[in-house]
A and B are shown apart, each in its own frame.
Chain A
């Protein structure tokens, strides 16, 4: 008797799995940054347009392919055309690269979560220097949150060439992170199906709690006003549209094979069109929701820093001119400054260089994305809230849920083709395959716990998936529409689900989406070529800030290898299949 394919216990588990995979860290730490950079409220226009034109059709395509072929990415594309097994293999390779470096973020989230149970929070105060007369120098020059991130968490080296040793604390957290992922994927859909209820829903609970807290913070309205004031001239900026398209593309996690893997565990009659629309809408609304929270926190932090800056100026003036304590307030500051400048010009000009120009706009305009946003900016805001331990625990728990939800999708993309292939699954049980994959990824991931690990993380983050995914999805769309045949696929879907294919999807799949992807691809290639040498930000401990450096040749070679190894799968496998077919045809002469 043939072993039947495991299924999701109910369609809700499938939807939650897709949401949990798509709603990840990018919604929290990349979308608010893009919103801020490209015109605030007006960025929503290109974002929604791209969602409808690019996000929904491509998501529906992947889910439909997975549900129809009922196999992981390699098997699915082989079924579409024997020459296109390389597309599936490229997806698996990209997923493998992603799972290598993505889990280190969960390790960092664990690290911060465990350190949140202290009073005071370890990143709120600078440690003392050796003879207890002052604070540590690096911490003084930077800030306590930056110091905790760069020195205590990463123990970062000055450049990518100085590798340093493996740090045992992040390494332990990485091992724990992989154990948790293994626990969730151990039993396949049985275990994953139950875990996704938590990883999909808990982040929303935390976001709602944070929304309520964030909106009641002092100065939150400053941040919200700053973000949502539309700067309509940005609509004419092509970079805004390109970044909107890129964000939709990567936020939904297209091209990794995870969506195909999830959909392959569906009942054939499942209405994946409805699910595709639901998942993409939820993903985008979560991005907007998360950016509301982020901007109220930004506003609080910026107002706090602005008021601290003003207080420092007030203290400086009070001390230099021996004014009465409490006389200078924020409301009469400008008046008094004018008075002092005219009455004591000499002394005033001495004090002037030390007076910083405090500007709320400048504080709000510091746009940060990525790990910097979560581990430096947010922690800085959290340390100034009341009961900061609670907010810190909640926040890092949410980050953990988001990260693990995405990791489940990634590992599913790798494990589903492995468990589908008869070669592997006949020799090893499911648990052993998952264990091996997790172990290999964990061991390779130890590279990111070295002192230069964060620089390698940035390399993987920026280059491992970007170009390859664009190409993979382009080939996928062309394969379904032109190689397999759009009409054939349409009749397959109709037979499978009982519903016809709307003209809108056909138009998007056949024409608009491939064109969009080609233009994105061309833009990125030209961008890479025009900028010449690639550079990275290194942390300088003596200055207490980031400096730009060039990548050494071997790092550039690694980047090239990352991009090439996944892209090359497509033509190489096609070529290989062609050759084996030719040889087979050559061996067996055609019968009369």
Chain B
């Protein structure tokens, strides 16, 4: 009689965990993709750890603090590695609703991933979407900072060039009167060479150069 009951219980338990059963989830691991040479083999000990992590996640849900490792059932383990799991209630007759399991796993996804050295892509819970990391928006977009810096530099450079251009033009318009003064000054200076003053070439008035006008006009006058 007891044997029959035992069989019944195990049969019922076996029926609880089946592919596509109610409240069952499929898990898929890609250990070799994630770890390459350091990949570990998936054996019953790893399965035990998995059951422990799921039980741990469920214990964090209010009203489910009494979840034990034996309440988590695994089945259909393939070479992939992939398997299905369900979580039963303490009576071991019903499975816990999928919604609860979903939210529990989502809350503790990071801890579960880290226990196996995997991440969201290599440890997949099908039908449990992972919460994507929120975008890190800095208080001020970086590009505006760089833009403002370059903008200010360019404006300062433009101002400098314009101002120096204006200054040059003002100097040029004062220029011609200054040049006349210096020319007069030059003519009043006497060139001194070797301490002996040279006769300044008096070019102001058209001066007849005697060297060319020694003789009388040889040219026929017009």
Say yes or no for A187: interface residue by CB 8 A criterion: yes
Does B79 lie within 8 Å of A179, measured CB to CB?
no
Q: Chain A residues near B29: list those with CB within 8 A.
A: 325
Is B132 within 8 A of A133, CB to CB? Answer: yes
Tell me the smallest distance from the CB of A165 to a CB of chain B, in Å.
Answer: 19
Decide if A134 touches B132 in the complex (CB within 8 Å). Answer: yes
Chain B residues with CB under 8 A of A318: 80
Min Cβ gap B130→A in Å is 9
Which parts of A111-155 form the interface with B (CB within 8 Å)?
111, 114-115, 117-118, 127-128, 132-135
Residue of B nearest to A314 (CB): B33
* B142 engages A117 (CB within 8 Å): yes
Contact indicator B162/A186 (Cβ below 8 Å): yes
In the complex, what distance in Å separates the CA atom of A405 from the CA atom of B217? 68
- Quote the shortest CB–CB distance from B59 to chain A (angstroms): 26
Docked-complex contact B32 and A325, CB < 8 angstroms:
yes
* Complex CA–CA separation, A24 to B32 (angstroms): 49
- CB-based contact B79/A322 at 8 Å: yes
**Distance (whole angstroms) from the CB of A169 to the closest CB of chain B:** 8
Please tell me if the beta carbons of B80 and A325 are within 8 angstroms of each other in the complex.
yes
- In the complex the two chains form, what is the Cα distance from A400 to B9 in whole Å? 75
Report chain B residues within 8 Å CB of A242: none
Smallest distance from the beta carbon of B79 to chain A beta carbons, Å?
Answer: 4
Q: Does A319 contact B (CB under 8 A)?
A: yes
B150 adjacent to A183 (CB under 8 Å) = no
Most interface-central of B78, B134, B157, B165 (chain A CB within 10 A):
B165
List CB contacts (< 8 Å) of B56-79 with chain A.
78-79
C-alpha spacing A323/B79, complex, angstroms: 6
Contact with B along A176-192 (1 / 0, CB 8 A): 10011011001100010
Question: Is A176 in contact with B129, judged by CB distance below 8 angstroms?
Answer: no
Q: A527: CB under 8 A from chain B?
A: no
B158 interface residue per 8 A CB criterion: yes
A406 to chain B, nearest CB (A): 19
Q: Measured between C-beta atoms, what is the minimum distance from B144 to chain A in Å?
A: 8
B 128-141 binary contact with A (CB < 8 Å = 1; else 0): 01011011000000
**Shortest distance in angstroms between B30's beta carbon and chain A's nearest beta carbon?**
5
In the bound complex, CA of A290 to CA of B131 (Å): 44
Cβ of B147 and Cβ of A325 under 8 Å apart?
A: no
Q: Which of A418-468 contact B (CB under 8 A)?
A: 429-431
Determine the interface band of chain A, counting residues with CB < 8 A from chain B. 20 to 34
With A176-B147, A431-B162 in contact, do A322 and B78 touch (Cβ < 8 Å)?
yes
A172–B80 CA distance with the chains assembled, in angstroms: 54
Give the residue of A176, A187, A323 whose beta carbon is less than 8 angstroms from that of B165.
Answer: A187
A324 within 8 A of B: yes
Whether, in the assembled complex, B28 has its beta carbon less than 8 Å from a beta carbon of chain A, the answer is: yes
Q: Verify B146–A114 contact, CB threshold 8 A.
A: yes
A476 CB to nearest chain B CB (Å) = 34
Rounded to whole Å, the gap between the CB of B35 and the closest CB of chain A is 10
CB distance B28 to A191 under 8 Å? no
B135: which A residues are within 8 A, CB to CB? 127-128
Q: Is the pair B142, A118 in contact by a Cβ cutoff of 8 Å?
A: yes
Interface residues of B in 75-133 (CB under 8 A from A): 78-82, 129, 131-132
A429 touches B146 (CB 8 A): no
Quick check: A183 and B158 within 8 Å, CB to CB? yes
Q: Report the separation of the CA atoms of residues A431 and B82 in the bound assembly, to the nearest whole angstrom.
A: 74
Q: What is the bound-complex CA distance between A430 and B33, given in angstroms?
A: 67
A186 contacts across to B, CB distance below 8 A: 158, 161-162, 165
Q: Does B189 contact A (CB under 8 A)?
A: no
Q: Interface size bucket, B side?
A: 20 to 34
* CB–CB A173/B147 < 8 A: yes
Q: A128-B134, A186-B158 are in contact. Are A114 and B79 (CB under 8 A)?
A: no
Q: Is A326 an interface residue (CB 8 A)?
A: yes
Assembled-state Cα–Cα distance A324/B150 (Å): 55
Tell which of B33, B129, B157 touches A133, judged by Cβ atoms closer than 8 Å. B129
Tell me which residues from 289 to 328 in chain A have a Cβ below 8 Å from any Cβ of chain B: 318-319, 322-326
Bound: A438/B182 CA distance, A: 42
Q: Which residues of B contact A172 (CB under 8 A)?
A: 147
CA separation between A565 and B28, bound complex, in Å? 67
Question: Which residue of the partner chain, among A128, A180, A326, contacts B132 with CB atoms under 8 Å?
Answer: A128
The reply to whether A114 and B151 contact each other, CB–CB distance below 8 Å, is: no
- Is A114 within 8 A of B165, CB to CB? no
Per a CB cutoff under 8 Å, which of A134, A183, A429 touches B154?
Answer: A183
What are the residues of chain A within 8 A of B17 when measuring CB–CB? Answer: none
Bound Cα distance from A324 to B30, whole angstroms: 9
Cβ–Cβ contact A429 & B80, under 8 A? no
Chain B, residue nearest A113 (CB): B146
Binary per-residue interface labels of chain B (173-212) against chain A in the complex, 1 for a CB within 8 Å, 0 otherwise: 0000000000000000000000000000000000000000
Q: Per-residue CB proximity of A92-118 to B under 8 Å, as 1/0?
A: 000000000000000000110011011
Quick one: which of B39, B79, B80 contacts A319, CB cutoff 8 A?
A: B80
A132 touching B134 in the complex, CB below 8 Å, given contacts A183-B161, A431-B162: yes
Are B154 and A179 within 8 A (Cβ)?
A: yes
CB distance from B83 to the nearest CB of A (A): 10
Q: In whole Å, how far is A113's beta carbon from the nearest beta carbon of chain B? A: 8
Residue contact A324 to B79, C-beta cutoff 8 Å: yes
B155 close to A (CB within 8 Å): yes
Q: Choose among A114, A133, A319, A325 the residue with the greatest number of B CB atoms under 10 Å from its CB.
A: A325
Chain A residue at minimal CB-CB distance from B28: A319
B53 within 8 A of A: no
What are the residues of chain B within 8 A of A132 when measuring CB–CB? 131-132, 134
Say if the beta carbon of B6 comes within 8 Å of chain A: no
Cβ of B16 under 8 Å from chain A? no
B170 to chain A, nearest CB (A): 12
Measured between alpha carbons, how far is A429 from B173 in the docked complex, in Å?
Answer: 14
Chain B nearest CB from A544 CB (Å) reads 20
**Chain B residues near A325 (CB, 8 Å)?**
29-33, 80-81
Question: Which 6 pairs show the lowest CB-CB distances between chains A and B?
Answer: A326-B32, A114-B143, A322-B78, A322-B80, A324-B79, A325-B32
7 A-B pairs within 8 Å (CB atoms) are namely A118-B142, A118-B143, A127-B135, A135-B132, A179-B158, A191-B161, A430-B165
Query: A118-B142, A322-B82, A430-B165 given. 15 additional CB < 8 A pairs?
Result: A114-B142, A114-B146, A115-B143, A117-B143, A132-B131, A134-B129, A176-B150, A179-B155, A183-B157, A186-B158, A319-B28, A322-B79, A324-B80, A325-B32, A326-B32
> Which A residues form the contact surface with B (CB < 8 A)?
110-111, 114-115, 117-118, 127-128, 132-135, 172-173, 176, 179-180, 182-183, 186-187, 191, 318-319, 322-326, 429-431
